[in-house]
A and B are shown apart, each in its own frame.
Chain A
């Protein structure tokens, strides 16, 4: 693995990032992290660890209560957000397509930040843009017959392919993928992650991807960041992310502690004896 992917010039900086929700939940506390350009960084951690919150801080869907995020050196603020968002694409767990719109229109909607309002409202996109949409749809493995189909009628895997095509319409420098394969079968999950990784490598795109599958994280990540209760508890290469560290991450104990023998959970214990 090229060293620059692990140590290169940073694309995303998290500077002492903190987030406390109004109800008092501390979703992130004091996160400092930098992600080099071109890195495929996987975020792991149990539910509620703050993975989504961290990703959403990068494009300003979530405003931190402490610290800041810098993209390519520019701090994300109210003033810079609009410009920065054009360089950051997002791939969603539930695909987030407009289900009653055609596949083609969904992919073209990825261009909306740069298309003039009259063109957007009439749907009259430039021919090079339409060509690009077709090219990307072909690239993600859809057929020309899918172009005019309603996005909501496609299978989950196909919808996520459309989501990836939409994300790459603006040649993003950063791709945020929040559990992109959470609702897909293992084979398609691998295909989808391969697509994201390969497309990202071609554009030297930085990927921040949250996952729940350890095997996929090890296979696709250049780097793995483990989170728990809003803190970073592991940061290293897939090789360093040993099975002990996995169980530490998911079983309550701090990862620095020697891994204990996993205690059976109360509910499981009772069930076993019924």
Chain B
């Protein structure tokens, strides 16, 4: 049997002590946090959210007999199903239609069309049927969604290119050790904050007014916001880069730009590439949304169909976006694994 070590050692005294880990102050902090949570939770109707969700779960399990959430969702779901794949166009309205040169995967059909027309003699509306020739493209809508998706990709790509081009000089002026003077430093930092603080969607809203509907507004909105992000991170990398090679070049009087190019850029290039890849990834996601305000891409198509209550088309677009983002995630995960 081992005896415990006598503490304190005989003849000595312990002068220091360890406090208990919690005190009244911690209790007060926890109480304050709770109050903030309760107040904000009430204002954002979190209590109601929990009730409605419980009700919906109850309805699905057959316990509750009605749920507003389930009703709403099923109404949307029925009007969105099935997704629209094809397109039909009246041949008489196609100006340059050639009967012997049908577009691929399409056929001509004769459809009966019933219209209400005014009978000039009886002044009554009478059903009037007429047969029209239509061009049926069974996957026509899928093809046009695909083309819109490609446009979305292009918007993201060019948004990223514009961001890189704008952020390079911005980063130079926003790096404290390279900016020519305090004024240019403050101006560049201020401009970067401005770009970063304006969300893409809001910027796009204004750019659509300036450049009209279409991809220009989308590209610029994505590019400007990302330029702020890249400018800030590039500048911070420049400031934190290893000073030793820079000093060697400064010592022989190489000049600021050449020193930056030979002493800093090679050192920070891996981080630059990582940031830029992140921006491309982010822009690809944002590009699907930016069209909601008319700035081109798949979002613009979505908004148009939504406003015309064509929920079948909306469904097709949502499925396309899902597939697109899924493929993107797979690709970027794979590329990341390869790079690291």
Mark A residues whose CB is within 8 Å of B: 59, 61, 81-86, 88-90, 92, 94-101, 105, 109-110, 112-113, 115, 117, 120-121, 163, 166, 170, 176
Contact = CB atoms under 8 A, between A and B. Distances in A.
A94 B267 CA distance: 16
Given A96-B244, A98-B245, A85 B263 contact: no
Contact of B254 (A83, A95, A112): A112
B245 A113 contact: no
Contacts of B261: 120-121
B248 A96 contact: yes
A90 B248 contact: yes
B247 A96 contact: yes
Given A97-B245, A101-B266, A90 B258 contact: no
Contacts of A121: 257-258, 261
B262 A109 contact: yes
Interface string B217-250: 0000000000000000000000000101101111
B251 A112 contact: no
Contacts of A112: 249, 252, 254-255, 258-259, 262
Contact of B252 (A89, A97, A99, A120): A89
A233 B259 CA distance: 38
B312 to A, nearest CB: 55
Contacts of B255: 112-113, 117
A153 to B, nearest CB: 13
B269 interface: yes
A86 B253 contact: yes
Interface string B253-288: 111011101110011010000000000000000000
Q: When A and B form their complex, which 6 residue pairs have the shortest distance between CB atoms, in order from nearest? A: A85-B253, A112-B254, A96-B248, A96-B244, A98-B245, A90-B251
Given A94-B244, A99-B267, A100-B267, A88 B252 contact: yes
Contacts of B252: 59, 85-86, 88-90, 110, 112-113, 170
Contacts of B250: 61
Given A90-B248, A110-B252, 11 more contacts: A82-B253, A88-B251, A92-B247, A92-B248, A98-B245, A98-B263, A98-B266, A100-B266, A112-B259, A117-B257, A121-B261
9 contacts: A83-B253, A86-B252, A96-B244, A98-B267, A99-B267, A109-B263, A110-B252, A112-B258, A121-B257
Interface of B: 242, 244-245, 247-255, 257-259, 261-263, 266-267, 269
Contacts of A176: 251
A113 B258 CA distance: 9
A120 B267 CA distance: 17
Main SS at interface, chain A: mixed
Contacts of A117: 255, 257-258
Contacts of B263: 98, 109
A205 to B, nearest CB: 14
Contacts of B247: 61, 92, 96
A11 B24 CA distance: 73
B245 A59 contact: no
A207 to B, nearest CB: 15
B253 A113 contact: yes
B133 to A, nearest CB: 62
A100 B264 CA distance: 10
B262 A59 contact: no
A65 B254 CA distance: 25
Contacts of B258: 112, 115, 117, 120-121
Contacts of B244: 92, 94-96
A113 B248 CA distance: 12
A10 B244 CA distance: 30
A107 to B, nearest CB: 11
Contacts of B269: 100
Contacts of B267: 98-100
Nearest to B270: A100
Given A89-B252, A109-B254, A110-B252, A120 B262 contact: yes
A112 B254 CA distance: 5
B177 to A, nearest CB: 14
Contacts of A82: 253
A117 to B, nearest CB: 6
Contacts of B266: 98, 100-101
A84 B253 CA distance: 9
A109 B253 contact: no
A97 B251 CA distance: 13
A101 B248 contact: no
A59 B251 contact: yes
A98 B262 contact: yes
A176 B266 CA distance: 26
Contacts of A92: 244, 247-248
Given A96-B245, A96-B247, A97-B245, A81 B262 contact: no
